[in-house]
Structure 1
Amino acid sequence: MNNQNIIEKVSVPYAEALLELAQTSNLLLEAGQDLLFISDTLSNSKDLQTFLANPLINVLAKKNLLNELFKSRINNFILNFLLVLVDRRRISLLIIIINKYLELSYRLESTTIAELSTTVALNEDQQNSLIQKIKVITNSKNVKLVTNIDSNLIGGFIIKIGSKVIDASLAGKLKKMSFYLNTN
């Protein structure tokens, strides 16, 4: 079993426990928003990630920093969850736990996650049109569109929905043409 599988197996029970707590407290939406805020904060600060992941740094110092950063910005039960992760020395898995939580909550709400890679950002009308088409294709009630800009695509876009990939990029078409020409 590789390291990534072990990390995922350790992270899932924490995400499930947090989801159950959010459901029983009727704070599913608020918990998701708080976790997205925490994830954005971590993504924007490599120093914070390094600080939290460092096993040599005192637990109390990590707790104080988390309290200082998030006390007035997130719900208390989410903050308490972060402090429990620090106590159990699992805070380094926070981003993975957040991603698992979001995946589980989206599944609970029948939300399909579609990853869109494109060369330029889509405007709101284009995004809404794409979301409506994905709803029809996947027969879902809700679609969460995760967009990232990839200049290597040259033009067009790639959509990943679970294990399905829709490649409408210029780079993808060029690869297909190259493959076809090389086989003949």
Structure 2
Amino acid sequence: MEQVIAKKYARALFKAAKESNNIEKYYKELIDIEEILKNKDVYKIFVNRSIYLKQKMNFIDEILNGFDKEVVNFIKLIISKHRELNFDEIFDEYTKMYMDYNGIINVTLVSAHPLDANVTNNIRNRLESNFKKKVNINHMIDQSILGGLKIIIGNKVIDGTIKGKLDTLLKNLEKAV
């Protein structure tokens, strides 16, 4: 249910951004707002429903001074509809729309050890060639995989790890016994 709500709000903001040719600007401002909300004191005020709405709106005007008026009004709408706790999901949904609109996919590479920049670039180039999209790579280290590489693209996982192969082998052995 929360994701449906988040999509609805994100879609509305994305539509407004597209109509005003501000998709990139709104995205960057949402990133900035997400950073601002990482401040615990700011976040406490942002989500506190016992603060009068007018005071909260004034607070938003103060902390978002210099931001695009539409983005500020969007944040105020979220607050007035008591959807503050949905901001992260709304931001995530807007990000998905932004990435899709710009032909960008996020890929997570998981390896047991740091990857050489040449290896990462080679993987990026192959994925961009395969998907015909720009690829953002997030690299994670997980020593439990022992070796090899796991590639995560959305909800798809390509497991080329030693741990994955050992797990598969173990399952096959258990079935055989």
CA distance in structure 2 between the partners assigned to 1:156 and 1:54 by the alignment: 46
* Number of the residue aligned with 2:63: 69
Shift of 1:92: 1.5
CA distance in 2, matches of 1:64, 1:117: 44
Between the aligned partners of 2:53 and 2:135, the Cα distance in structure 1 is 39
Work out which of the two has the higher radius of gyration on C-alpha atoms and give 1 or 2.
2
Provide Cα deviations, 1:142-184, integer angstroms capped at 9, x if missing partner: 2233444445434443222233211123332332232233233
Unaligned runs of 5+ in 1: 1-5
Alignment of 1:109-124 (within 5 A): 109-120=102-113, 122=115, 124=117
1:12 Cα shift?
A: 1.2
Does residue 81 (structure 1) correspond to residue 74 (structure 2)? The answer is: yes
Structure 2 counterpart of 1:99, which letter? D
1:160 and 2:152 aligned: yes
**Distance (whole Å) between structure 2 residues aligned to residue 171 and residue 49 of structure 1:** 40
- 1:94 CA drift (Å): 0.7
Mapped to 2, the partners of 1:49 and 1:113 lie a distance apart of: 27
Distance 1:90 1:176, change over 3 A: same
Task: Give matches, 1:20-99, under 5 Å.
Answer: 20-42=15-37, 44-45=38-39, 48-72=42-66, 74-99=67-92
Kindly report structure 1 stretches of 4+ aligned residues shifted beyond 6 Å.
none
Q: Distance in 2 between matches of 1:159 and 1:140?
A: 17
Matched residues in 1 for 2:145 and 2:44: separation? 32
1:113 and 1:145 in contact (8 A); partners too: yes
Kept in 2: contact 1:49–1:92 (CA 8 A): no
TM-score (normalizing by structure 1)? 0.78
SS state of the match for residue 86, structure 2? helix
Please give the secondary structure, in 1, of the residue aligned with 2:108: strand
TM-score by length of 2: 0.80
Q: Distance in 2 between matches of 1:122 and 1:173?
A: 20
CA deviation after TM superposition for structure 1 residue 75, in Å: 2.9
Tell me which amino acid in the other structure corresponds to 1:62. Answer: K
Distance 1:65 1:118 in 2: 44
